[in-house]
Each structure stands twice: as structure tokens, then as C-alpha cells.
Structure 1
């Protein structure tokens, strides 16, 4: 009896250890500030307040629909639920499993099987009920490491869910502002066609008055047609953006055509972009969290593989009742008990276990490299997108000034042409310059807003 207690006590003392490396979160490079962020507003990025800063109720509504009905997001939610179920299973593996069983049998005996032959009972009835329990004593932490790995996978799946949410909101906003930019470009082209049509009318009037040439009329008409040819291309882009927005919100491609068809200008005032420290950005981004949690899972799986070097101890027990008649079941004489301590040790398979440990270690090294790369890419994205945003703002300012000058030049050229001081070639060149500059200004405004959305994605957490 003393020996049994000694062995049991030793087993429970061993149960406190877990083989394999203990996980420690690796350190990451964290610059004090973003170089490109020195010219921005300090503070923490608040996603909800950021989108409200555009003061566009339709955009806010589309974002809500995307987060509620997008199918890529539903896939991410399902993967999270799967990871949660696997974690529950891993946790339950650490506890005893209980199995209830029952059976009833009747066997007919041949004469030769009877005792004595030909004279004994020719039928044997047997009834059995019982409860069996089996428990793997996790002495070397195999099951605990497996649970640790699965818990990290669940946390990674949760971070993946956050990454998908940020990415989808960013895609929706980008598609929305691309649509509004294309609609504004379409309107600019229409205005340019109207302007050039007015010039064509002037040229034709001058021809009728004997002061113009057929050559000028032909060139003016060709310019009108060339500019008008941009309208179908823009219309195709507008429809494509509408289709993309609808699919992102979980609807058929044409579902939002009527809703999005009324042209809305690009926002004049943009929300400020607060940029906190690179360390805060890295701690906020869910893709970084997912990579870090997968590193933790890979480290824990090293422990699972290492535990195979040691024996597995299983404690099993059975409490039941066996009787030849149902009335005798659960009676004292019919009681059946059994306790078994099993040992399973594949010590002859040492080389294969070592190979699995080496493979798990390689997985950990790969996960570490992936995490470190994700950190560097996140810092790169934030720096690059902040620079692009700042440069897009500078380009927009220059184009706005250029557009004002180009518009003045067209007005002066038209007046001088009507007075006969310049030829139509000079007027045509001024109009082309104005049309091109105005189109570039609209595109630049769109680029500024899209660059702002990219900055949001980089700071809040959507790679790519």
C-alpha cells in the first residue's frame, strides 16, 4: 500500500512539468517615431471617428453593411469558431473521459460445449452495464502544450478576423472614393465637351462670316469627338466601382446602381490623421498579433513533439455489474471493478521522434522569421504610405494653382481669338491644357483621399 501511494505521489509531482521550450515574445525594433509622421497630428487613430470625419452618411452605411454581410468576413468568423471548437477539444483531452456501456447476450451451446457434454445447460445469458473512465496523466505536458498551441491559434484566428475587417473597410472606402472620383472626372469631361462645343460654334460662326477656315472647323470638331470618347471609358469604370461596392456589402453586383448613381463630389475637408509611435502601431495591428500568436503556437508544438520522447501514463478504471439475469444486475455479487495504470513508451522509435522535434523546431524558426518580417513590412507600409499621402497633398496644391492659371489662359485665348489676334491653334492648345490640368486635378484629389485611406489601413492594420 505504501509503495502504491509513493508511486502515485511521484506521478502527481511530475505532472507539474512540461517539456519543450517556454515561449517568450521576441523583441521588435520600434523607432521612436515615423519619419514621415513628423508633419502629422500626434495622437491615437480611432477608426470610428476617422470614418465619421468624412461626414458621408452613405459611406458609413456601406461600411456597416460590409461588416454585417460580407462573405469573406463570414469565412473569417467560421475559422475563428473552428479554432474555438478545437481549443475546447484540446482542453477536454486533459480531463478523464467517461464511457457508459451496456450489453445483453445469449449464447446457444452445442453438446460438445456443454459441461458435462450433452447434459449441461444449452444456453448462457449474460447482462452487463458499466462506466469506464480513462485519463492520460499529463506528466510531461504533452496535452498542456497542445492546449497552449491551440489557444494561441484561437487568438491568431481572432486577430485574423480583425485584419479582415480592417482590410474590407479599407477596400470599401477605396472603391467608394474611386467611384466618386470617376463620377467627378465624368462631369469634368462633360464640361470640357461643352466648352469645346462652344469653341466649335465660334469657329463655325467665323467661317460663316468669312473670317475662318474649314481647317479650323475640322480640328475643332475632332477635338470635341476626342474628348467625348473619354465618356464611355469613365462610365465603364463607374459601373465597375458600383459592382465592387455591392459585392463587398454582400449583395449582387447591380444591387446598388440606383443608390450610387447620383454623383456626389469628393469631400472637401478631410479628417486629420493622428500618428502615434511605431510601437503603438505594431501593438494595434491585428496582422502583427496574428503572426506573434502563430509563433507562440509553433513553440508550444515543439513541446508536444518533445513529449513523445517520454512515456505516456494512462489511468483507466471500470465500475460495472455483470450478471446472468437482469434481476441480479447492480447487486453486490454482480459488482465488477478494475483499475489499470498503462504505460506507452515508443523508446525504440527515438529517431523518428527526434525527426518530428527537428521539424517542429524548423516550424518555430519559420514562424519567428514570419513575425519579424511582418513587423518590418508593417513599419515599411506606414512610412511609405505617410510619404505618399504627404506628396499627394503637395501635388494637389500645385495642380489647383495650375488649373486656375489654365482657366484664365483659356478665357484670354478665346477673347484674343474672337478679336482675330491669334489663330485657332493657340486657342486649341489653351483648351487642351485646361482640360488636361482639370482632369489631373480631379485625379489628384482622388489620389489624396485614397492615400489617406491607405494610411488608415497601415496604422490600424491591413497589410498589402
Structure 2
């Protein structure tokens, strides 16, 4: 039997009999954390009056009903430098996918050349015999064991993972922009509250100085009133710095130098407020929405496909190919004698080092198990972040309410102290003490209100909203 017939009868049937795609098909295990009923249930921390089970809007920042904020977030999503990097990474992943897909297309090759030959014993003068060659080769991979299909599958999943990573950046940018804008508003709000406190204390200082001149006060009363004014006024520069630093951060998020901060946001002095409770839906919606969960899941799919790529190395690769060619002397180049062609399957098998291939398969399998563990961890962390953010927000709502009541009580106490002093039923020390308590209560309440807005944004960030790129 000829070598060619042996190859056809022995090796090709082996390849053709194993047409199933190498490696396992991807699916998430049933016992993955994402499938747990408790992971998809309502949030434990979202049972209070500050929440609702309504769906989270794609552009959640619009719940604050602030056109300036809406414009800033949209600008950031269009120009942020981190997003530009993420978009470039996605384009690269798409190009890699196209390259992988091109491996299953028809491959062509064109060759040409001129040969000069002369036998040494002929005695003929140079140049000798000139022979022209022109050839066209075509081949198409059959991919019987699906190595190329698995490689394309892995590249497609990689591309989807990079897309999810881009979406995660959008979530972060939207939240960071909203938070920076809220910090500008909060700094101005606290600045205004503190300025009103200072103004009240200055009025008290003026009254104290008049009382001293009239013989009803002492230098000690004046010095205590003056110290209260200076102590409260000392906080004003810090609020100014906080506002300016937040404006610089906004500029950076918008892809601008700090000096080009958005001046139209600098005078915001009202804290962003929600008209309704924070819409949180449930755990199932969170698991569908969070881009980092989608990214971790797509990584599993990509590495599962790579098990097939490694497994396919145990089998031969087969292509259908052919070639056309012209070869001969220049004067006979286009004659029938110069034309030739071939057609047939091309078998390539390197008789692999099977222990090495099995080792690569084991590596790929171990990587998938690590990916599954990482995916479970990502799901658990997402749920923890959401519950933690909601719990913090719920408890701080209670704290703000309590501080508000404390400020009201301090205002009443200060008014009563002033009234008693005017009727001579208490000394001025009681007035100063009551007004100091009032100043502290108002400043603490303002700081807690500002912190509560930040807590709201943390909830929205943990819910993973804001990555959808829809119109309108």
C-alpha cells in the first residue's frame, strides 16, 4: 500500500470520526451563589420608609430633578478620560475577535519569481536559461474538532467582559460626578449655615459689649462672646476649600484641566434631595444590572472555551486546499505546458507531546474553577455593598432626624435663655451657653444632611445603575 493511500485510509478517518467540538460547553453551575433564592430576594436593609421597591431608572441622577446635575453627568460620560481608555480597550477586544473570526475564512497566498540557471559544462555564454514562476495557493480549515470555534467563542466572551468593564467605569463616573456636584452644594450649604451662626453670635457679641458699657456686663462676658464668634468663623475657610476642591474634581471628571471647572455649578447651595424613597428593586435586579457581575461571568465563559482550544491540540488539523501555477521559460510562459494545479485535503498533525497537552488542559480547567470562585465572590461582594450602603443610609436618616430635633430644641433653649436674661432672671453666661449649644446643633445637623446625600449616592453606586447607553 502506498504512503498516500495509508494516510487516507488510516489517519483521515480518525480525524473525521471525531467531529464533536473539543472541550466542555459553557454553563453556570446550579450551585452558583447567583442562583441562591436569598441572593435574589428583597434587601434586608431596605424595609424602612427611605426606600421603595420600584425599578431603578437608568439615569438615576435625574431623580434629583436638577438640570445642572443632568448636564454635568452627560458631559462626564462623553469626555471622561477613564471612559476613553475603556472605550479604546473595547475597540481592541473587538479587533481581536475579528482576527479570531478571520481564522475560519479562506486563506490565500500568491508567489512569483524568476530563476536564472546555466549548466557549467555547456560552454554557453551568460545569462543562461530564465524561468518565470507564478503561483496561487488556496486553503480552508475544516476545524473538525472546533479549535477555531472555541477560540472565537473565547474572544467573543473576552469582548463582552471588556464591554462590562467599560460599563462599570460608566457607573463609577456617573456616581463620582454626582457626588462631586453634591459636595459643591453641601460645602455651600454648610457655609451658609455657619455664616448665619456667626452672624447670630456677632449680634450677641454686640449686645454683650453694650451691656458692659451700661454696667450690666463684664469683660469676661465680652471675651467669651468674642471667642464663640472666632471659633465658628474659623470653620468658614474649610468649607470654601471643600467647595473649590469639589469643583476641581468635577473638571477632572469632565476631562478638563482644574482651572476650567464648571463655574455654573459653583453657586449651588441647596442639597440635592429626592422626592421619593430610593428605588432599589430586589437582589435579582441587582445581579442582572451590576456590570462587574456580568464581567466575572463572561470571564468564566471565555476560559471555559479555552479548555476546548487546549483539548483540540490532541487531534490533527485538516484543511481543504489547492494551488494553481505557471512555470516555464518566458517565451513559453502562457503555453499549456507551463500550467499546473493541485487539489486535496491537507493534513497537519505534529503528534503532540500528550502529557504537555494534558497539562495545558488541566491548567485551563483549574482557571475555570478559580473563575467560578471569583464570580461567587463578586456576587457576594455586590450584595454586601448594597446591604451595607442601604443600612448606612437608613440609620443616618434617623440620625439626621434626631439632630434636627436637637437643633429645634437648642433654638428654643436659646430663645428662653435670652428672655430670662432680659427679665433679669438669669445671667448672661446662660445665654452664651445656650447659643453655643444652638450653634453646635445647627452645624452638626447641616453636616449630617450633607453626609446623607453622599449616603444616597453610595446606594445608587452599589446598585450598579447608570451604565446603559440609551437615548433620551
Is it true that 1:372 corresponds to 2:382 in the alignment?
no
Change (3 A) 1:353 1:462: farther
Q: Secondary structure at the match of 1:308?
A: helix
2:470 paired residue number: none
Q: Which residues of structure 1 form unaligned runs of 5+?
A: none
Q: CA deviation at 1:405?
A: 1.3
CA shift digits 1:85-132 (9 cap, x unpaired)? 1111111112231122333x35364xxx33x43137632323222222
2:54 paired residue number: 43
1:25 paired residue number: 28
Q: Which of 36, 61, 66 is the matching residue for 1:56?
A: 66
> Distance in 2 between the 1:330 and 1:424 partners?
119
1:447 paired residue number: 451
> Distance in 2 between the 1:164 and 1:91 partners?
28
Compute the TM-score of the two structures, normalised by the length of structure 1: 0.91
Change (3 A) 1:7 1:199: same
> Distance in 2 between the 1:201 and 1:329 partners?
113
Q: Secondary structure at the match of 2:217?
A: coil
Q: Secondary structure at the match of 1:129?
A: strand
> Distance in 1 between the 2:204 and 2:336 partners?
113
1:77 paired residue number: 87
> Distance in 1 between the 2:303 and 2:37 partners?
24
Residue pair 2:195, 2:233 contacting (<8 A) in 1 also: yes
> Distance in 1 between the 2:427 and 2:334 partners?
116
Change (3 A) 1:330 1:421: farther
1:243 paired residue number: 248
Q: CA deviation at 1:59?
A: 0.1
> Distance in 1 between the 2:23 and 2:461 partners?
38
Change (3 A) 1:330 1:69: farther
Change (3 A) 1:68 1:330: farther
Residue pair 1:156, 1:291 contacting (<8 A) in 2 also: yes
Compute the TM-score of the two structures, normalised by the length of structure 2: 0.89
> Distance in 2 between the 1:389 and 1:186 partners?
23
> Distance in 2 between the 1:304 and 1:356 partners?
10
Q: CA deviation at 1:257?
A: 5.0
Mean Cα deviation higher: 434-443 or 199-208: 434-443
Q: Which of 169, 173, 182 is the matching residue for 2:178?
A: 173
CA shift digits 1:56-86 (9 cap, x unpaired)? 0000000110111111111111111111111
Is it true that 1:436 corresponds to 2:436 in the alignment?
no
1:149 paired residue number: 154
Q: Secondary structure at the match of 1:53?
A: helix
1:65 paired residue number: 75
> Distance in 1 between the 2:333 and 2:67 partners?
73
> Distance in 1 between the 2:336 and 2:444 partners?
95
Q: CA deviation at 1:278?
A: 1.0
Q: CA RMSD in A?
A: 2.6
Is it true that 1:92 corresponds to 2:102 in the alignment?
yes
Q: CA deviation at 1:380?
A: 1.1
Q: Which of 90, 97, 101 is the matching residue for 2:111?
A: 101
Is it true that 1:258 corresponds to 2:269 in the alignment?
no
Q: CA deviation at 1:426?
A: 2.2
> Distance in 1 between the 2:17 and 2:440 partners?
79
> Distance in 2 between the 1:461 and 1:14 partners?
50
Q: CA deviation at 1:372?
A: 0.6
Q: Which of 188, 195, 198 is the matching residue for 1:183?
A: 188
> Distance in 2 between the 1:230 and 1:107 partners?
92
1:413 paired residue number: 417
> Distance in 1 between the 2:408 and 2:221 partners?
26
Q: Which residues of structure 2 form unaligned runs of 5+?
A: 468-472
Residue pair 1:164, 1:462 contacting (<8 A) in 2 also: no
Q: CA deviation at 1:333?
A: 1.9
> Distance in 1 between the 2:371 and 2:314 partners?
24
